[in-house]
Amino acid sequence: MTTTIYVPCDTTARSLGADAVAARLTRAAERLGVDIQLKRNGSRGLFWLEPLVEIETAAGRVAYGPVAPTDVDALVDAGLFEGRQEHGLALGDIEAHPYLARQQRLTFSRIGLTDPLSLEDYTTRQGFDGLKQALALTPQGIVDEVKASGLRGRGGAAFPTGIKWQTVHDTPAAQKYIVCNADEGDSGTFADRLVMECDPFMLIEGMTIAGLAVGATQGYIYLRSEYPLAQTMLDEAIVRAEAAGYLGENILDSGHAFHLEVRLGAGAYICGEETSLLESLEGKRGLVRAKPPLPAIEGLFGQPTVVNNVLSLAAVPFILDQGGQAYADYGMGKSRGTLALQLAGNVARGGLVELAFGTTLRELMESFGGGTRSGRPLKAVQVGGPLGAYLPQSQWDTPLDYEAFAAFGGVVGHGGVVMFDDSVDMGAQARFAMEFCAVESCGKCTPCRIGAVRGVEVIDRIRAGDAADDNLVLLADLCETMVDGSLCAMGGMTPFPVQSVMKHFPDDLTRPQAEGGR
């Protein structure tokens, strides 16, 4: 009898030795004469347990983790191939783990269960059911379904996806485009990467549906160059989807065409901003464009273009398969559906947590995250990437909802939650926010290009105790100028983390530094 063993193949599992674990399992099986089939599945997103090995048994899958390469022989001796659970790393049925059982996985329902590149695995778990539903609808019918779902852009701006699609649908043009923003540059985020590495057909399906809805026949996935594995997976998934008739000139014999191509970015954070991304796709420097015109009217190569984040497009197959209302049934207020939260930084149980909007930050960090990895008290948390404010304890009871965060000047952004323990120097974090902007500014507008450089200098002076009070006034003024005067969110939001440090952690900013304060 063949025993099926799963060893995840995503970047995180591999960064912790999954390939070596897989190799050792194969050697152990050969040594013992056990007939195994090793499957490289996606990660389930419980990253503190990676590499998470699972064995298929008569009673279901049995999990072990985190398995270091050096644990393999002892695990095999303790009956891993038979699914025995005496070893200390045995976890039993991972789906019963509260971390997973308490989630509401609509978008991430398949990750970790399947071989990411197996069309058979994909289609046996509702894969392409949404596309089939879409093919039975009119383009307007598809747009209406997305509108009914209440889906808002998951990249961070939270613009209603259905309205964007309607604009592109209503704008006549010989050629329209679907562009997927896969330039997931925010520190603390990895949900896009998980979609692309662990369930790439879902993104292909979502983009194809978008193409049908608005009348676009060409799609581009603009992928950051920091994700080499995602590129490999997407390229192969596209080849396989084309060969099986899910992409190409005649999708599932419907007469509709949709072509898809991965385009690699080149290490520029600003290219996650949609107009800068379009410039880059056109082969130029990634300079931000003034809006209007909206990309939905004049986008890629001047044509009407849907630019959506990976997670927005990945939510679409579920919405078309189950109906917009089924998605809208989750969430609160104007934030409908689920949000892919990513627990990162100094966290004991980091990973992907997909939940309906409305959970509080504290609940997420404590009952899912389990506090800090270091075991020290939590001091600050940055939500929404490098342009998001640092939140002190008094704000941790805020529900994760676009409007609730906006009410105090916070952003949910792409759902990244980066936790810091009490050893963090918040003055250094404020300085880094300005430094990052100086490195990554596209240079088009002055408040961002010059402001970030001056921001680093002013913070250095404050930290050196050089006329600190005067320089704090100057810093406050500079932040205001950047917020009000920048062309896009890069310069316009870089002050948010700085202002939050000035407001909530002022002592860290003015405390004299030992050496240089970097």
Partner 1 sequence: MSHPTPQPADTALAAQLQAVIDQHAARPGAMLPLLHAIQAQHGYIPDAAVPMIAEALRHTRAEVHGIISFYHHFRTHPPGRHVIQVCRAEACQAVGARALEAHVKSALGVDYHETTANREFTLEPVYCLGNCACGPSLRVDDEIHGRMDAAGFDRLTAQLSATVVEVK
Enumerate binding residues for partner 1 (CB under 8 A).
11-12, 14-16, 47-48, 50, 184-190, 192-193, 225-229, 263-269, 280-286, 301, 342-347, 350-351, 373-374, 382, 386, 416, 418-421, 424, 428-429, 432, 436, 439-440, 442, 518
Nearer to partner 1, 142 or 216 (CB): 216
| Burial status of residue 394 (CB atoms within 10 A of its CB: 0-12, 13-18, 19 or more) | exposed
- Residue 491, both tokens: 């310069």
Min dist CB 264 to partner 1, Å, is 5
Pairing of strands 177-182, 305-309: parallel
Shortest distance in whole angstroms from residue 271 CB to partner 1: 9
What's the min distance (Å) between Cβ of 406 and partner 1? Answer: 21
> Which two tokens mark 137?
């609808």
Considering the complex, state which of residue 125 and residue 284 has its C-beta at the smaller distance from partner 1.
284
Give the residue with the Cβ less far from partner 1, 151 or 490.
490
CA angle 278–279–280, rounded 5-degree value = 90
- Burial label, 292 (beta-carbon count in 10 A; 0-12, 13-18, 19+): exposed
The least CB distance from residue 371 to partner 1, in Å, is 13
Residue closer to partner 1 by CB (options 191, 400) is 191
- For the chain, the distance separating the N- and C-terminal CA atoms, rounded to the nearest angstrom, is 59
CB of 440 to partner 1, least distance (A): 7
What is the DSSP annotation of 345-386? ES-TT-EEEEEETT-BHHHIIIIIT-S-SS-SPEEEEEESST
Nearer to partner 1, 290 or 439 (CB): 439
In the complex, least distance from residue 322 CB atom to partner 1, rounded to whole angstroms: 29
**Could you tell me the two tokens for 264?**
């690699």
Per DSSP, helices labelled H in 426-467 are 426-440, 446-463
Give the count of beta carbons closer than 10 Å to the beta carbon of residue 337. 25
The secondary structure of residue 152, as a DSSP letter, is B
Q: Which is nearer to partner 1, 301 or 408 (by Cβ)? A: 301
Question: Measured between alpha carbons, how far is 129 from 473 in angstroms, rounded to an integer?
Answer: 58
Query: Taking every pair of C-alpha atoms in the chain, what is the biggest distance, in angstroms?
Result: 76
Dihedral angle over CA of 99, 103, 107, 112, nearest 10: 30
Q: Which two tokens stand for residue 482?
A: 């950047």
Q: State how far the Cα of 54 lies from the Cα of 73, in Å rounded to an integer.
A: 15
Report in angstroms how near the CB of residue 17 gets to partner 1 at its nearest. 9
Residue 6 or 227 with smaller CB distance to partner 1: 227
Render 256-313 in DSSP notation, one character per residue: --BEEEEEE--S-GGGGSHHHHHHHHTTS--PPPPSSSPTTTS-GGGS-EEEEEHHHH
Cβ at position 182, least distance to partner 1 in Å: 11
Q: Provide the minimum distance between the beta carbon of 105 and partner 1 in the complex, in angstroms, as a whole number.
A: 17
Contact (Cβ atoms closer than 8 angstroms) between residue 513 and residue 463:
yes
Q: Smallest gap, in angstroms, from Cβ of residue 490 to partner 1? A: 13
For residue 64, the SS3 value is strand
In whole angstroms, the minimum distance from the beta carbon of 228 to partner 1 comes to 4
Cβ nearer to partner 1, comparing 48 with 122: 48
Angstrom distance (rounded) from CA 201 to CA 469: 55
The CA-based angle 297-303-307, given to 5 degrees, is 70
Q: Comparing C-alpha atoms, which of 468, 474, 477, 466 is closest to residue 507? A: 468
Smallest distance, Å, CB 358 to partner 1? Answer: 23
Please say whether the beta carbons of 196 and 230 come within 8 A: yes
Q: Which one, 5 or 430, has the nearer CB to partner 1? A: 430
Nearer to partner 1, 330 or 436 (CB): 436
Q: Which is nearer to partner 1, 166 or 429 (CB)?
A: 429
Q: How far is the CB of 292 from partner 1 (least distance, A)?
A: 22
Closer CB to partner 1, 204 or 347, in the complex: 347
3-state secondary structure of 240: helix
Amino acid at 142: I
Omega before residue 447 within 30° of 0, cis: no
Distance from C-alpha of 231 to C-alpha of 147, rounded to nearest angstrom: 31
Give the nearer residue to partner 1 in terms of CB position, either 341 or 400.
341
